[in-house]
Amino acid sequence: MRKRGKAKYPIKHWSYSSLMSFLRNPLAWHKRYVEHIYDTPRTPSSIVGSAGHLALEHFYGGLDKSAAIDIGLDYVRKVPDFEINFGVAKTREAKKRKRLSMEQEYLQAINFYLEKPPKHKVIGIEVVATVKVAGLPLPLKAVSDLVVESKLQKGALDVVDHKFVDSFSPAGKDKTLFVMQAIFNYYTIRAMYKKPVRRFLLYELKKRKNISGAPQLKRYVIDYAEQGEMFKIFNRLVKEATEQMLHTKHFLPNPGDMFEGENSFDVYKLGLTKSA
């Protein structure tokens, strides 16, 4: 058994995405975050989301709406076919139709948002930070879409996150996931700006138009002042995940993982499951 003081971790830090990947599908996690193999095609939905984030980054950076929208559209158009998981679209014509639907979905979603965008006094845009947190064995890394002045607490900051979704999260269903992500942002922004961080504001933007005419944008608010117990659970989970990662010699697939189940099982069949 390795001595704790001399342990060499296979990763340099935890992020929200890497921690969730480790808990959901350890083999897919090992492939991406330890071996740094990124050959799994992206879903059209994730590409549309990336384009939306890029457009909002430039919009809140001072670009006008039309120019910001064009930057996101150009991003969608330039993603090569081999990077896209087209699903059942196999022929050239079917792939062309899928790409057009991705463009239409992006334009519809970003126009929904920019029709009446939330107003913030922006302090930082796409803020990337990696920080050491007292009591945790590995640093934490997070990307914050926006860091803004808090309207709730003078002198404090809020973190803003955007998600482009096919449907809104059912009430309460994903709250734990939201809070887990929010705590990564809390630690990194607090350390980077040396100011209190009060809230995590998450905007879900529905990409397809509601037939009923209901709003396309839904806001979730996580007040860090109310999350004392979740901070304790978060710290415990990070510590225990790190401990498990350190002592895992064989990584097993999760074929039921809707995102990477098939790919992880293929890796398992090839025998590429041992840690270094």
Report d(CA 51, CA 226) in Å as an integer. Answer: 33
Query: How high is the pLDDT of residue 248?
Result: 82
Query: How high is the pLDDT of residue 102?
Result: 96
- Within 8 A by CB and 6+ apart from 100, the residues are none
Query: How high is the pLDDT of residue 174?
Result: 61
Report d(CA 76, CA 47) in Å as an integer. Answer: 7
- Within 8 A by CB and 6+ apart from 94, the residues are 86, 88
Report d(CA 120, CA 199) in Å as an integer. Answer: 13
Report d(CA 135, CA 104) in Å as an integer. Answer: 47
Query: How high is the pLDDT of residue 133?
Result: 97
Query: How high is the pLDDT of residue 40?
Result: 82
- Tell the residue number behind the tokens 């933007």, with chain if given: 205
Query: How high is the pLDDT of residue 165?
Result: 92
- Within 8 A by CB and 6+ apart from 187, the residues are 131, 133, 140, 142
Transcribe 56-89 into DSSP letters: HHHHHTT--HHHHHHHHHHHHHHS-GGGB--TT-
Sorted by where each starts, the structural domains of the chain and their CATH numbers stand as: 12-39+238-269 (no CATH), 44-115 (no CATH), 122-226 (3.90.320.10)
Query: How high is the pLDDT of residue 203?
Result: 95
- Within 8 A by CB and 6+ apart from 61, the residues are 125
pTM score of the predicted model: 0.86
Transcribe 99-140 into DSSP letters: HHHHHHHHHHHHHHHHHSPPP--EEEEEEEEEE--TT-SS-E
- Within 8 A by CB and 6+ apart from 89, the residues are 95, 97, 98
Q: What is the pLDDT along the chain (276 residues), one digit of tens a residue?
A: 444 445 589 999 999 999 999 988 888 898 899 989 887 889 999 999 999 999 999 999 999 999 999 999 999 999 999 999 999 999 999 999 999 999 999 999 999 999 999 999 999 999 999 999 999 999 999 999 999 999 999 999 999 999 999 888 886 656 888 999 999 999 999 999 999 999 999 999 988 887 777 888 999 999 999 999 999 999 999 999 999 998 887 766 666 544 444 554 454 344 554 554
